[in-house]
Structure 1
């Protein structure tokens, strides 16, 4: 992974980068920094490249990477399949070599279409003075753009500094709808930047591009109607013939899942999903820096993999599958974030005594348990329960359950110093809550408990597995139940199709910027191309049954996988959003809506 920055100046002049943006880019890539600049477009334009590399595989390869023909590549991605990259090879060098061998646009698109894994790239093609750039099908890596018409400078970057005035930012996320091509010579002649779009086949996303094109720029679909081949099959739109009756009175238990697994057909579907998801995890925990035993990086006591961990079904399954593919002597870090609960207001003694009389013993015990620590938020409680299940499944593994405790003072400080810039240009209350929670979790700084004693601990893992993509594909959100109740399976299918189409703009760019700020890389097994392919091929009733109650019906197929993998109570935990499970939502104005603009994200 890396932080990349590119500027095309339509004059021969060079311009200084924003110092704060440079700092953020360097944190994304702490292992190598390099710059490259040269005139282009018959010498009337100027191209500037800057890249900061986080070394993940093969030999460390500084970027920008320039080949003998003068082509330049900045590659922020991981090749997990589609084209061959050996463990000792670096994918940047391989991709550049293959791009330079492409004789026309069709071959370039065929190459990019074949790559399985997350990517963002900027590629200067010397022959013809063309600039190519874009994001993968799901937009798993961040890329922002803007155009300053006054000075004629077009900029692309992984991350950009935030703003202090509402509505004044020119930065926008590059839509993950295809790849873009700029004729640099034509831009020099016209004094303006125009993009040629090569979309993913079957996706009519021109409206998304139109709304996101930087002011002063234009775009058009390529005249040859060329497109990238979609890496996943279309969503199965089948609707069951029989009307489903809602059964909210069913008692939720692991036994419900055991009954459903009796069917041979159901077991086959479950086992197939376990297989493709296990392979997705294997690819992501094995594609790590090439380290030998005499290297200073080698330590069997340090984890190379961490998981954003709430104890919920998504993270539990990732932990179980990672356990299968990581040598047992290596620890796995489970990153569990909690925001300090506010102290309850002291009530008058008479009122307090009255309440005590009303409370029965069980309620009193429950309250005492909940208030035993100001960080005993729901995700901390389910996380500890999940840890116990994992320890039972593999007691030989060292599971580092990292309790990451955040006070309001630290939240406010780090939001202003770092997080507001990383979330930018997104700006809602939900972006603030999730962005802050993920940033603190990914930092991995907290405490672990060993033999009843706590000690300070900071995760060493450079790779962080996250469960994003499970809810979007398997109807995990409460809005899916609402849609199902209103419009049945047809409405639910439409909702799921929309979820996957917008995941790049709602979640993935933001989370990549936030996690990358720690010099760590986010990996998304649930968005592996083979996993999405398999889930897309299934009818919706195989994936979820929203006629069943919470804790069973949503993500039903994943719950059955959890039971098959040997998990217990975590398999029937209802979905709980991170902002509520970590209690960050309780720290701010309780009357805010998730979609409201968040003034806390403005830079002071």
Structure 2
């Protein structure tokens, strides 16, 4: 994870040797391990590159990187597959070496077509005086652009500046392909021309499927002096995922399932009955296998410190967690936790980050049956103990806290020898309002809806990882040390987890449901992932998305819709059916039957302030004040 930025000026008065303080501060928070700046000047332009690295794998590699030919590279990504990166290597160095070896545009496009994993990048090609930049197909890493001064300057950055009145000028770079700018031409013409090399799907029969690119919409969101043009037909990025299988069954599925949906009980035994079908069981096992590999890559691509447990017996509270999970106890986070448990060293704790919001702090006596233990690290001082216990008690009726604790018990049964740190992150209204104003509103921008506010704030507090470990005999403060945070985003979008999927199915059947799922995955970059990346990375941590692994998406896309979901069945069964069946096969119990509950409702943040808002309304609380 890194904070990357390139500020370009086309006239002397817009040349700068420093970034604005607020922008530099936000970039450094993303990359606390290393910071570096580099200035490159042409006859008509100047580029200031700024790189801030969160060290996770291989040798610490400072950015920006420059080669002997004057090319400059900024990389914010993880190569999990497609391009060979050895365990001891740093993927930034590998990618830069590969880019430096590229002889033409086709070579560059071929390289980025191969990469599997989240990425955004900025690459200055000295010989042609051009700048390449872009995001992966799902937009898992944030990249914003800001054009100003009537074409005399522009900026690319992982996160925007925080100046009142200007933040709305920052926009997310569309995850529709890779962009290229010829800097000399832009300087002379006083206009910026963006050439887009789009994603296209190439079938096994070598037939190119055109991807719909709305250049007019992108153009409409940009200033008049910025134009977007499409690349030549033969120059494009090959999509790293298989196209969505939109096959429909020969007989109407509704008729097949109508009676079954009324008679099947909402129990684990019902799910087990599905698994008695040989084909269903085979598909579920294939899904587990591909998701298991995705989780393994995301928990092992990480530089771990030498484990001292083999040399001496350590107290549990002194062992360091390297991996954390955004954890509600729902089906998505439970399956990720169960699979992560297979690959993370057995003596390494896993942090389960569970966030809850309440309007008022309860006061009163301390929680019964809890005794303070002097030997516990991060022990709560005696004068604060009663208050801490009361706060924890005040969050007991928050839905995600209830399901989270139930999920914790399931995981403890699955692997009793593992230390599962269930981190209770309790947020008061006062703390929410202060930190939204000071930090979160700047990160959520340029998104600005009520939904962006709720999810952005919930994810920011959860990923910060500061809370309490409450056990039967102790309460202690806790701050998660994990640099990598696993999240379940992508499961609902692909497996019809939202209410709108059920509404679409009821009105337009399976054909309509297929179209809704295709639309969900197509817009996930602009709707979710840039925002979540900015929010999580603000703590110097990296988000990783197992359900959006290219092989997982390709596998799910290859299946006909009825092998993944059955919305003729009730909530808690039919949506995400294949994932529920996988959970049963993994030994999970009650969590396999939990219906989808949105984070903003499960954490209770949606009820904390104005309760009569629509999710799509613009949120006044996100406005940046002077």
Residue 210 (structure 1) shift: 2.5
Residues of 1 paired with 2:607 and 2:65: CA distance? 46
Range 207-216 or range 272-281, more displaced: 207-216
1:51-200 equivalent positions in 2, closer than 5 A: 51-150=51-150, 152-162=152-162, 164-165=164-165, 169-200=168-199
1:256-267 equivalent positions in 2, closer than 5 A: 256-267=270-281
1:499 aligns with 2:501: no
Residues of 2 paired with 1:411 and 1:223: CA distance? 49
Q: 2:538 — aligned with what?
A: 517
Q: 2:213 — aligned with what?
A: 205
What does the per-residue CA deviation read over 1:168-217, in whole Å, with 9 as the maximum and x for residues that have no partner? 72111000000001111211221221111100013222344324435521
Q: 2:373 — aligned with what?
A: none
RMSD: 1.9
Q: Which runs of 5+ in 1 are unaligned?
A: 345-370
**Are 2:354 and 2:404, in contact at CA under 8 Å, matched by a contact in 1?**
yes
1:411-450 equivalent positions in 2, closer than 5 A: 411-450=432-471
What does the per-residue CA deviation read over 1:473-502, in whole Å, with 9 as the maximum and x for residues that have no partner? 000001000000000000000000000000
1:186-265 equivalent positions in 2, closer than 5 A: 186-201=185-200, 202-207=210-215, 208-243=217-252, 244=254, 245-246=257-258, 247=261, 250-265=264-279
Residues of 1 paired with 2:2 and 2:178: CA distance? 19
Q: 1:24 — aligned with what?
A: 26
Aligned pair partner of 1:277 in 291, 305, 313? 291
User: Taking structure 1 as the reference length, what is the TM-score of the superposition?
Assistant: 0.92
Q: 2:355 — aligned with what?
A: 337
**Are 2:150 and 2:225, in contact at CA under 8 Å, matched by a contact in 1?**
no
Q: Which runs of 5+ in 2 are unaligned?
A: 201-209, 363-391
1:328 aligns with 2:374: no
- Match of 2:139, SS state, is coil
Q: 1:209 to 1:25 in 2, by over 3 A?
A: same
- Match of 1:409, SS state, is helix
**Are 1:481 and 1:546, in contact at CA under 8 Å, matched by a contact in 2?**
yes
**Are 2:440 and 2:457, in contact at CA under 8 Å, matched by a contact in 1?**
yes
**Are 1:163 and 1:169, in contact at CA under 8 Å, matched by a contact in 2?**
no
- Match of 1:200, SS state, is strand
Q: 1:153 to 1:227 in 2, by over 3 A?
A: same
1:468 aligns with 2:489: yes
User: Taking structure 2 as the reference length, what is the TM-score of the superposition?
Assistant: 0.89
Residues of 1 paired with 2:7 and 2:228: CA distance? 18
1:520-535 equivalent positions in 2, closer than 5 A: 520-535=541-556
**Are 2:139 and 2:175, in contact at CA under 8 Å, matched by a contact in 1?**
yes
1:553 aligns with 2:555: no
1:308-327 equivalent positions in 2, closer than 5 A: 308-327=326-345
- Match of 1:169, SS state, is helix
**Are 2:160 and 2:167, in contact at CA under 8 Å, matched by a contact in 1?**
no
Residues of 2 paired with 1:11 and 1:161: CA distance? 21
Residue 342 (structure 1) shift: 4.8
Q: 1:446 to 1:187 in 2, by over 3 A?
A: same
Residue 87 (structure 1) shift: 1.2
Residues of 2 paired with 1:161 and 1:240: CA distance? 51
Residues of 2 paired with 1:537 and 1:95: CA distance? 30
Residue 38 (structure 1) shift: 1.9
What does the per-residue CA deviation read over 1:109-152, in whole Å, with 9 as the maximum and x for residues that have no partner? 00000000000000001111111000001100000001113471
Range 26-35 or range 5-14, more displaced: 5-14
Residue 44 (structure 1) shift: 1.5
What does the per-residue CA deviation read over 1:31-65, in whole Å, with 9 as the maximum and x for residues that have no partner? 0000001212xx11111100110001100000001
Q: 1:432 to 1:487 in 2, by over 3 A?
A: same
Residues of 2 paired with 1:232 and 1:211: CA distance? 29
Residues of 2 paired with 1:234 and 1:417: CA distance? 42
Q: 1:293 to 1:373 in 2, by over 3 A?
A: closer
- Match of 2:321, SS state, is coil
- Match of 2:229, SS state, is strand
Residue 239 (structure 1) shift: 1.0
- Match of 2:446, SS state, is coil
- Match of 2:528, SS state, is helix
Q: 2:15 — aligned with what?
A: 14
**Are 1:7 and 1:49, in contact at CA under 8 Å, matched by a contact in 2?**
yes
Range 153-162 or range 51-60, more displaced: 153-162
Residues of 2 paired with 1:249 and 1:407: CA distance? 44
**Are 1:170 and 1:214, in contact at CA under 8 Å, matched by a contact in 2?**
no
